[in-house]
Structures are given as structure tokens and as C-alpha cells.
A and B are shown apart, each in its own frame.
Chain A
Amino acid sequence: MKQQGVRVPLAIFAVLALVPVLRAAGVPMGGFVPLLLERVMVFGLAAMSLDFILGIGGLISFGHAAPLAIGAYAVAICNEAGISEAAIVVPCAMAAAGVFAFCTGAVALRTRGVNFIMITLAFAQMVYFATASLSDYGGDDGYTLYSRTQVLGHDWLGTKSFYVAALITLFAAWLLLRVIGASRFGRALAAVRQNRVRAQALGFAAFGIELVAIVIAAMLCAVAGVLLANEAEFVSPAYASWARSGDMMVMVILGGVGSLHGAIIGAFVVVMAEEGLGRLTQHWPLIYGPALILAVLFLRHGIAGIGGRRG
């Protein structure tokens, strides 16, 4: 896998890091700016984990909302059981999402192309209806989280420090996925995407490689789910809906497939579009939809690809 430059991603992280500094220094900005950016970072993390399997692995999963919701529900379920320590909640979330991804992935990977898209969608819908039937956790109405998850006894996920916690998590995830992308595993995964039969002829166990990639992506996405539950202080089946999966795919494609940091840009654009266009008109999807089509037609490498490599 060609390693891309680090300048643009580092610039993105620098800008994200500057916002709270500027705010503390008294630069006027609406209080909603950091809040929106928190959402951008949470969804950016989820979308980045999707980009790992979609961009590097070529696995077009239309069910990535499932691990997001599993992560969020891990917070709700632990909270109901009186556990609100991240050192327990996060491993639980990751393990649950990992097991889910392993089982569903092992089935889904027996299919290719459109069938793979449909079967991942179907599994995510199963999570959607399963969570909607969890009456102990609010069922359809969702579950309100009255206290946020503690990190080693500290209130780092509280409203004051959530921004920084999300930024650090996002940066660590980006670093991790970048390292994995450049490793033997990342290279094998990219080879399987480019030519599955050829990769097998070279001795690569395509199925196992893809399955492990799916599990890694789901576990990271579950971390985003934990963050999302805390950011919204609310958990609902809507997190697992197909529309969420679609949003994540849009973020990845809009931002630039396979670039990792493009997912953050994509998350920014989607969150801002929902917010900004939503203020203009309640029929905002009428603008959003065509804009998306134009972006796909004219930005082949997404926003992250502008001014960079040409295909």
C-alpha cells in the first residue's frame, strides 16, 4: 500500500487541537462549534474504521452501524449493571463487536459484490431490531445515560474534557490503522482486494485475512460507539439503522476511499451538511443528494484527493 503523505492528516489534527486552545484564549466562537466537532470526531473514528476495510480491503460493508450500536449499547448495559468504568466498558464493547463481526463476517465473506453489501446490511438490521426489543434498555425509545463513563476514575469523558478525549482517541486510531496498513497484514489485505485469485496463488489465505480485517474494524468502531453514547448521553436503536451505515459510507467515499484521514473530512462535511442545510430548509436532502452525486462524479479520490495524486 502506498503510504500517503502525513501533512494533510497532521494539519487536520492540528486544526482540531487548536479549537479548544483558541476558545480558552477567548477567541469568539459559538459554543456549538466544539460540540459539532465532537460529533465529527466520533463519526470520523467510526468512518475511519470502515475505510480500513472498504479502502484497503475493498470490502463494501453496508452494516458498519452494527458495531457502532453494539459499542453504544455496551455503555448502556454496563451502566444499568452499575459499571461505568471505561477500563471495563471499552473492552466489553470491543469484545462484543469483535465476536459479532467474526460470526457475521464469516458468513458474509462467503459472498461477493452486491451480495456482500446486502448481507452486511441484513446483519446490521438484525442488530437494529434486537436493540429495539431490549425493553430493559428503553426498547424503541432508547436509553438515557444519566452519568457518563469514567476513565480510571476520572471524568475525562465529561462535557469539559470530552473534546480532548475524542481527539486523542481519534489520533491513536489513525496512527494504529496507518501502521497496520503498512504492515505485512495491510499489504496482504490490499493484495487480496486488487486480485483475490492472484493473492491466493501467492499463498495468501484471503478469507482469513479479510475476516481479521473486519474484526479489527468492528472493534475500533465499537470504541466510537462508546464515545457516541457518552457524547449524546443517549443510546437508541437508531444508531444501528441502515441510514447510519449509509452515512458512514458517504463519509468514507466523500472524504476519499483508502486515505484514512479522508474519513474525518467526510464526517466533517456530512455533520456540517446535516446541520447547515437543516437550518436552510427541512427538505435539505434535496440539496444534499445531488451534491453527493456531483461529488462522486467529479472527485474520484474524494476531498482528500484534491490536489494530490491523480488516478
Chain B
Amino acid sequence: MALPGLGDGVAEALLSVRNLRKRYGALQVTDGVNLEVTAGSIHAVIGPNGAGKTTLIHQIFGSVRPDAGGILLAGHDITHLAPHRRARLGLARSFQITSVLPEFSVLENVALAVQGTQGSSFRFLRAAGREAALNGPAVVALEQVGLAARAASLAGALSHGEKRQLELAMALAAQPKLMLLDEPLAGAGPEEAARLVELLRMLRLHCAILLVEHDMDAVFRLADVISVLAQGRVIATGSPDSIRNDVAVRAAYLGEDF
């Protein structure tokens, strides 16, 4: 591992996954995974289909309970916290299938994300649509991803790429410490993918990113650190260069053409 500061205790990990285990019947999906994401970095998790990437993301996010092991977010033990509590501690997630709220306008979607982090939903009388405390940060986030012009459109009417942008705006508006992205480029055309990669670069100025992605070009261009998952285990972690040249990784996953 060529990360500066790691090991001498200077850069404490933002997210630290410790010896995580999850079994579905006879299948050990997560087999003692250790993972550290440092603040401000983009950390990609790659691996062949069925390696346990999505299950790992689900466990970090809280929608799947691990059998053993622990997860720490900025020093808090979040292993047994409900998803919405993790979200309030600074964990944001975008989904493999885009999941903006189709009946809300673009602005309402982002304002909702702002409201979610404020943890203040039991207010019954004031009209949320007119609250500057919600709309202000929402507009800023929309401008950052270049979607401000469509603020009034229904989210359900957006194109696929625009929905991805909206997802990112929602994640940004929540001002997370760490964003979990499950295949953010899935289903995007080459042009859209290029634009999204730029957005992700911009995003990293705001928070650390843990990313699962199949688009190897994008992964090797974006990531600071790559972890390779195979059969529920991390078989290698390191910089893109060291991963590219790792013999075990080539054998397990990348194939001869890399």
C-alpha cells in the first residue's frame, strides 16, 4: 500500500470495514472483508460478477446485516444502525437503478434530500415548498451538477442521464462525508459517461467516494485506491498502477487483455 500516512496514524480512515462476514445459506458472500476509505479519496471496488460487491455496499449502507465484523464511520460504530441513522451521520448512497422520486419536481427531490439530513420531518404546518432553508441549498446543488434549468420539471420526465445528475445533486445536497455509488455509470452512453466522470471528479471535492463500477476505463481514471473483490475476499488493494500489475488480480479477474 502506497498511501501516505496510512499506518502511522496520521490519516484516520473515514470508513473502516473490519473483518466483515455475511453468509447466505452455503454461500459465503462476504468472507472477512477489510477496507479503509480515507477522507477525500475515491475508492473503487471491482471484481467479477458474484464477487459480493453489491452485498458489501448493502452492508455498509445498512440494508443488509452482516453476520460478523464491524463498520466504523468517522469513528462511530455503525454496524447495527438503521439506514436512516447512517444517512444522518453522513453516509449517502446512489442506487444501481436510478431512484429519484418520480412524482416530485427536480427541485423537490433535492429539497427532500436537504430535509432528510436536517432530521426534522415532524413539522406539520409550514409549507415545505416555500422554505428557503430547504430550497436554498437545493438550488445550489442543482447548479453544481448543471441541472438548475430543469428545477421545475417532474423528475419522472427526465432523461436517464439527467436522472443520474439529479441523483448526484441529491447526494451533494445532503452534504455527506462519504458517498456510496453502486455502478453510477451503468446504462450511460459514452458521452453521458464522460460527463458523469467529470461530475464524480467534482464531487470528490466535497466528500469521499466508495464506488462499485464495471466500467474499467472510468475506474482506472478516477480511483485513488482500488480494492479487488473475489469470492467475498479482498485479494488486492492499492493504487491503479499496482492493481494493473498485480499477478493475482490478473489471474482472478482482468484477463490477458489488460
Q: Which residues of chain A have a CB within 8 Å of any CB of chain B?
A: 1-3, 179-180, 182-188, 190-191, 194-195, 197-206, 209, 212
Contact = CB atoms under 8 A, between A and B. Distances in A.
B178 to A, nearest CB: 13
7 closest A-B pairs by beta carbon, nearest first, are A203-B116, A202-B116, A203-B87, A188-B121, A184-B123, A194-B101, A200-B83
Given A194-B104, A195-B101, A187 B112 contact: yes
B115 A187 contact: yes
B99 interface: yes
B160 to A, nearest CB: 17
B181 to A, nearest CB: 12
B174 interface: yes
B127 A191 contact: no
Given A203-B84, A203-B88, A206-B84, A184 B121 contact: yes
A185 B99 contact: no
A2 B103 contact: yes
Contacts of B101: 190-191, 194-195, 198-199
A201 B92 contact: yes
Interface residues of B, number: 39
A179 B84 CA distance: 26
Contacts of A201: 61, 83-84, 87, 92-93, 95
Contacts of B122: 184-185, 212
A3 B121 CA distance: 18
Interface string B91-107: 01101000111111100
Contact of A182 (B82, B88, B92, B129): B129
Contacts, number: 102
Contacts of B112: 187-188, 191, 199, 202
A183 B126 contact: yes
B124 A180 contact: yes
B125 A183 contact: yes
Contacts of B36: none
28 contacts: A183-B123, A183-B124, A183-B125, A184-B120, A184-B121, A184-B123, A185-B122, A186-B124, A188-B112, A188-B115, A190-B101, A190-B104, A194-B104, A195-B101, A197-B95, A198-B99, A199-B112, A200-B84, A201-B92, A202-B84, A202-B87, A202-B116, A202-B170, A203-B84, A203-B117, A206-B84, A209-B121, A212-B122
B140 interface: no
A183 B103 contact: no
Contacts of A198: 95, 99-101
Contacts of A2: 103, 105
Interface string B199-230: 00000000000000000000000000000000
B101 to A, nearest CB: 4
B63 interface: yes
B69 interface: no
Contacts of B100: 198
User: Which of B104, B124, B129, B134 has the most chain A CB atoms closer than 10 A to its own CB?
Assistant: B124
A140 B124 CA distance: 40
